[in-house]
Structure 1
Amino acid sequence: MRGLLPLAAIVVMSQGAFAQEYPTGPITFVVPFTAGGPTDTVTRLIAEPMGKELGQQIVVQNVGGAGGTLGATQVAKADPDGYTLLLHHIGMSTAPSLYPDLAFDPVKDFAPIGLVTSVPMTIIARKDFPPSTLEELIAYVKEHKDEVTYANAGIGAASHLCGMLFMEAIDTELVTVPYQGTGPAMTDLIGGQVDFMCDQTTNTTGQILGGEVKAYAVTSPDRLGNLPDVPTTAEAGLPDFQLGIWHGLYAPAGTPDGALQKLGAALKVAVADPTVAGRFAELGTAPVAADEATPEALASLLSDQIALWKPLIDAAGAKAQ
């Protein structure tokens, strides 16, 4: 009938109208870890400038549990309308190997928006732990491997991955104590209930500078400006032990291109914000360059990291039960 538009034309017109209108209400950023942890900190730092750019409030929702997979699953199953997003770290690339019954596919079930930052790790201990240097720490944990306790924030958390690589690097299995989040692990480390851990600078810098924990090394190629007295792992005796915990922003697969483009543009504004850069620097990291805050950069890194971590996790037998 001449009075009716073809279905394809109607779809194109509706998508165009959506792109012009979006966003018309608050947007939720799901953080798949507990409040106060490193990923939560990164998320809140970029949420404010992104919200200003988009003209809407961004609400940060913490959905912790199962190494970040509960929150990721929630977003994967959310309506693909641009109003529910996921900010996740390197765990997106390790989840397929750690969780045999994973309820989502990191590649197929998400639309990447862009990278946000890559955070160095720090090897730290309770302040009265006997070793004074990383070299002494390695010798000590080897000698007392059945007594020393390594804390982590649960399977799939950055601290778990760092600990797994550390044990592989020194060829020693240690007693691990998993927690439900980074906050409780740090609390017990400061309180002396556990001996040492490895976690992101966004969660450890304040405690290091405040003298609440002892720092042995950072996992970055160079020393950090805010922790100039902490040597790199290469300087301290582990030249091949480097690890950065990258963070990316995702939408559910099927989210309209118009929404993704607006979100991507807002992310670029956020990572270029001087206030964000300054706050990140205080925490020992930096936002990515604008050309990395893109879907292509995040998709490429995610694919590469899935392939990198699978043989390591399989060899370690580190599967969630």
Structure 2
Amino acid sequence: MTRSSSAVRESLCRADKPYSPGRRLLGRRLALFAAGALAAFAFAGKPAQAQEFPTRAITMVVPFAAGGPTDTVARLIAESMSKSLGQQVVVENVGGAGGTRGAGQVAKATPDGYTVLVHHIGQATSATLYRKLAYNVLTDFTEMGLITDVPMTMIAKKDFAPTSIPELIAYVKENKDKIVYGNAGVGSASHLCGMLFMSALDTQMTTVPYQGTGPAMNDLVGGQIDLMCDQTTNTTGQIKSGKVKAYGVTTPARVKSLPDLPTFDEAGLKGFEVAVWHGMYGPKGVPPEVVAKLNGALKAALQDPKVIARFADLGTEPVALDRATPEVHKAFVASEVAKWKPVIEKAGVFAD
């Protein structure tokens, strides 16, 4: 049965009339729902970590055992960064394989900013030192800023014959087969310093690797080995107590905690410069907004009076803020890889 023409016209007229109050309310609700859905979609399109980072604790991996110099640096930084970020930065020690185990763990972590790495110069030297590295030093990390440069000191047993840097250089060249140089193990800072020293002199010494700085230092103090190069964090106390003979520092400027100790540069050995720098990293692909927040907290830590004072006790100081940037850090790592590659290859010392 068909509707009459008048009924049809009446229906059309109703359709052309303004909404009733009920229809208006329904329309508003639909509009609000649509707007909310669009906002939720846009919000969901952004990485969660970029919205309110951080919302939970951050893990700071140290690729060495607790109590060492890198662990000390990391814990000082972590404590200060926790205050700035409003969340705990928890240090986790993942030692083994010269620091490459912990670094590899961070390289494979989710790039959300909740896992970071604090590593020293070994981050750059591992690119050449290890034949089978599970990650690419230059492409598998997000650099977040340099932290500090720890100077190195060349020290010897108390009764070692040379009394100055020039005498030491001459003595090493003339007696290379009789000198025993100790280090804390392959890839350690003392190992790297020794390799660079021998490269600078174009000579070799008998090298004895130990399982850590402690045993090597004990044998040096006891006179079982002749020579060693290590961080001021490990040598300052021994030097001040007179248990070892100190020759010089390996940085361009003298160290404030050891002002009477000359630099190798001022003694005439140009190019022999090495410091155990530390930097902070995340996995590849951490969002720029998260990197910026972590870098800001790092810079605040480097200006923290407590951190500065404790670093001074360790014979070091925070880097200048213009070096604590992701861009400078990234370029610096690349330059260090290039610097150490020929030294390591010339020495012919590699690890699997």
Equivalent residue runs for 1:85-96 within 5 Å: 85-96=116-127
| % identical equivalent positions | 61
Which residue is equivalent to 1:287?
Answer: 318
Give the superposition deviation at 1:150: 1.3
Which residue is equivalent to 2:302?
Answer: 271
SS class of match (1:106): coil
Which residue is equivalent to 1:41?
Answer: 72
For the aligned residue pairs, the C-alpha RMSD in angstroms reads 2.4
**Greater RCO, 1 or 2 (C-alpha within 8 Å, sep 6+):** 1
Which residue is equivalent to 1:247?
Answer: 278
Give the superposition deviation at 1:270: 0.6
The one of 84, 92, 96 equivalent to 1:65 is: 96
With the length of structure 1 as denominator, give the TM-score of the two structures: 0.89
Cα deviation 1:83-142 (Å, max 9, x = unaligned): 221111122222111112111111221111101112221101233333322233333333
Any conservation in 2 of the 1:37–1:182 contact (CA below 8 Å)?
no
Which residue is equivalent to 1:189?
Answer: 220
Any conservation in 2 of the 1:166–1:241 contact (CA below 8 Å)?
yes
Is 1:307 paired with 2:338?
A: yes
Any conservation in 2 of the 1:120–1:201 contact (CA below 8 Å)?
yes
Give the superposition deviation at 1:196: 1.8
Distance 1:183 1:11 in 2: 52
Give the superposition deviation at 1:213: 2.1
Distance 1:141 1:226 in 2: 27
Distance 2:326 2:128 in 1: 23
Is 1:238 paired with 2:269?
A: yes
Which residue is equivalent to 1:108?
Answer: 139
Give the superposition deviation at 1:34: 2.8
Deviates further, 172-181 or 134-143 = 134-143
Any conservation in 1 of the 2:193–2:230 contact (CA below 8 Å)?
yes
Task: Tell which structure's C-alpha radius of gyration is larger.
Answer: 2
Which residue is equivalent to 1:260?
Answer: 291
The one of 134, 141, 160 equivalent to 2:172 is: 141
Deviates further, 242-251 or 57-66 = 57-66
Distance 1:153 1:161 in 2: 10
Deviates further, 171-180 or 31-40 = 31-40
The one of 149, 155, 178 equivalent to 1:118 is: 149
Cα deviation 1:212-267 (Å, max 9, x = unaligned): 32211001222222101111112334233222222110011123333322211100
Equivalent residue runs for 1:4-43 within 5 Å: 9=42, 11-13=44-46, 15=47, 17-43=48-74
Give the superposition deviation at 1:6: 10
Cα deviation 1:257-286 (Å, max 9, x = unaligned): 333222111001011112222222233322
Change (3 A) 1:140 1:34: farther
SS class of match (1:234): coil
Give the superposition deviation at 1:165: 0.8
SS class of match (2:45): helix
Any conservation in 2 of the 1:117–1:285 contact (CA below 8 Å)?
yes
Any conservation in 1 of the 2:199–2:343 contact (CA below 8 Å)?
no
Any conservation in 1 of the 2:113–2:286 contact (CA below 8 Å)?
yes
- Matched AA of 2:254: R
Distance 1:36 1:186 in 2: 16
Aligned pairs, how many?
318
- Matched AA of 1:102: L
Distance 1:189 1:72 in 2: 31
Change (3 A) 1:187 1:244: same
Which residue is equivalent to 2:235?
Answer: 204
SS class of match (2:265): helix
With the length of structure 2 as denominator, give the TM-score of the two structures: 0.82
Cα deviation 1:144-199 (Å, max 9, x = unaligned): 43332212222222211110011112222111111233333333333433222111
